[in-house]
Structure 1
Amino acid sequence: MTEPSSPSYSIVDPAIVRTLPKVVLHDHLDGGLRPQTIIDIAAATGYDGLPTTDADDLEKWFFDAANSGDLPTYLTTFDHTTAVMQTKDALVRVTREAVEDLAADGACYAELRYAPEQHLAAGLSLQEVVEATVQGVKEGEKAVADDGGRIHARLLLCAMRHADRALEIAQLLVDNYGEHSPGEGYVVGFDIAGAEDGFPPSNHVAAFDLLRKNLIPVTVHAGEAAGVESIADGLRQGAVRIGHGVRIYEDIEAEMSGLELGKVAKFVRDRRIPLEICPTSNTQTGICDSVEEHPFNLLYDLGFTCTVNTDNRLVSGCTMSGEMVKLAEAFDLEYWQLLELTTNALETAFCDQPLRESLEREVIYPAYAELGDAMDIAVDEATGAAAASGIDALHGEHLHTHGVGAEEVELSMENLKAELEQLGLNLDDDDEVGDAGDASQ
């Protein structure tokens, strides 16, 4: 009788990924509503602009409308979500449900971002908008805890980059920053969002100056609809993370000896500026046609600090688990690499260090260690070698090495050429490719 085969962990299992703890840094509050919630609030507030009042059909409409291939069209889908987020009750509900939904997908830490200036149509003040979302986060955390789970959620305030209220939003953030403010420690950072091309971060110098003076961390949307200069401009304004940022690949040149990183790309990589990568969203806004063609693998192999995010769960029809699985399937990632992406995010989150250490020690590492123990790493009877255990069991034979200080990043010629061709970069077939890590120095 043939013995049943052992479970394979060489390819990630979507069911297992859903159980693993996750950290999301880039999730828009107005891009992740439940379809039924939109319908309920629209009915209660008299908003009659929805394309349909069937929840399943509405969910499909958002996803189809978002697959336009460009950012401006993609952003039009938010007209409906923001329209139903104009009252205190609506903001509390939407925020609470976002926290609950992320926790149900395994998130143990989440940063939700939104633009307070977009929620004033029914008479709320900017401060009342912030206080409603803080209440929603607290209710969401409590609901998850009451159900036996654990999640910590924080809020980022966005200024709309095409508007002129960035300084006002920066001051709102200063007023709500810290445990002893009305924000109660839940409001932790600043962002600029909206149409990127033609609206550089430097349009809002005064806002960034105020935030720097008050030691408040900043991330900016950059390298999505605009290129490398947009990223550089955000860095000059003090950004310590880059929302999306994937067009940094445009600052990487293919030379006969390998890859040469430009000034901005070297700074981002060497200073470990995190890229808040949102794979599905990037395909919808025209950065690439599919996740398989995404520049993630090139950036990861070259040592950039990559994180995985949802961007807009409703609009992009995605979850954190799904995004991780898509990347794993497209680029042969293993569980230890999912752990690396998760810890990359936590290390660069805008939370305090005690919370970061608590999540690592009590949630993230124990879950991955348990997974490692469950993996069928058999004792080699021929040599008597002991099986690996815990997190060590997640590491196997790998095609390349990766990490801070790695002297060598090995890419096969075939894979390297394929990645470069997808990004519009080419190497002469007759030339030998040198070591990619050395060439980028």
Structure 2
Amino acid sequence: MRIAVIGGGIAGLTAAWQLSRQHQVTLFERHAVPGFVASSVTLDGDLAGLRVDVPLRVFYPGYYPTLTRLYAELGVATEPVDYATSFSGADGGLYFRWRNARWGGWSVPYVWPQDLAHPRARRIAAGALRFQRRARAALAAGALNGASIGEFVADERIAPEFVDGLLLPAIATIGTCHTEDARAYPAPVVATYAAAGLARHSVRRACDGADAVAARLLAGIHQVHCQAGVQAVRRSPHGDGSGSVQVQHARGDEAFDHVVFATQANQALALLADATPDETATLSAFRYRALEVVMHRDPSLMPTRRADWSPVNARVCAEHPQPESTIWINRVQPALRDADPIFQTVMPQRAPREDRVIGRARFERPLVDTGNTAALAALQRLHGQPGRRVWWCGSYAEAGVPLLESAVRSAVGVAGCVTRAVGVDPSLHRPT
């Protein structure tokens, strides 16, 4: 079978790699390199040639089992990193912080007594303990379905200092969304994430970054077209019940037996020239939020006191719709340990000095709310239709926080759908 995969993010690379084991797969990518590494930055000067992932690609095994298995099958070496986090206000002053005690692959977050000197910090810590107890109990009892996290914490009367000072900024930082978007997150999604071992497993990264992951996946793909400029996709049914799918791109038109969209849902809808009403309604139900990531060397975006710097530093201000998160790259990429400070700021509230900027990247991230359950169910119904030849995968296409895990999990699922559609055992294509 000839199969086209459109989009070279982690979902597209994974789907193409899996399907290439049995089929002739062509990957189309609009960037000059696969999207998974298209925004990464190459440093210069004394660090010439060293690459930094943009955005930073980290994971922890408890919430990323499919990604963890994929890395193991690819032979991608990973290492634990310190992901301790500080929370500061508009004045740059620290108001809460947790640190990590790590032993091998295990990690235990803790708070120093001096970090609890202020009453606000103590109320945040107490709220965190109450939230963990109540959320775990409600999740186990199946009592969270249909509720947003904002509704849950209000009903449980969780301390506002914790909710506004830590919980919502943390969700917004992980999901790269606005604070009110975070408040609308489904309570089961947040509770499941919190219960999946974040307090036990170390955050990890691929030792050689996203480039190593992309290289291994690309090595197994039949054909890769970068700067492909896909313009439209349309189905061409034949009278005998068979069919093909036409992909119109910068180099001409090609016919494929199946096409997998590994793009955002809104981008897939724009490319699918003959979308049915059901496809249009389903893909339109997924919403996105634009965001910016800036690589720079400006320490003014960090907490005011150098002693308060953590690997991850959140700035939470009521006058901004989203928290600002600045990652101290030197603390999470060992090759930069002794270099001058380098930072990656996500959803910046302030602009770093232009002469300190290394690079900028802009993305759109899927939003998650209680309406996503219906949209995901509709997507699964589409995938279950007999004779289907067009498919979708991406971080938006699986339940949970839209991260690398959901992207890879959806790619594995779609590869299984395609292989079943053409009569091949899908178990042959799953990471083990």
Q: Give the structure with the larger strand fraction.
A: 2
With structure 2 as the length reference, what TM-score do the two structures score?
Answer: 0.27
Q: Give the structure with the larger helix fraction.
A: 1
With structure 1 as the length reference, what TM-score do the two structures score?
Answer: 0.27
Higher relative contact order (CA 8 A, sep 6+): 2
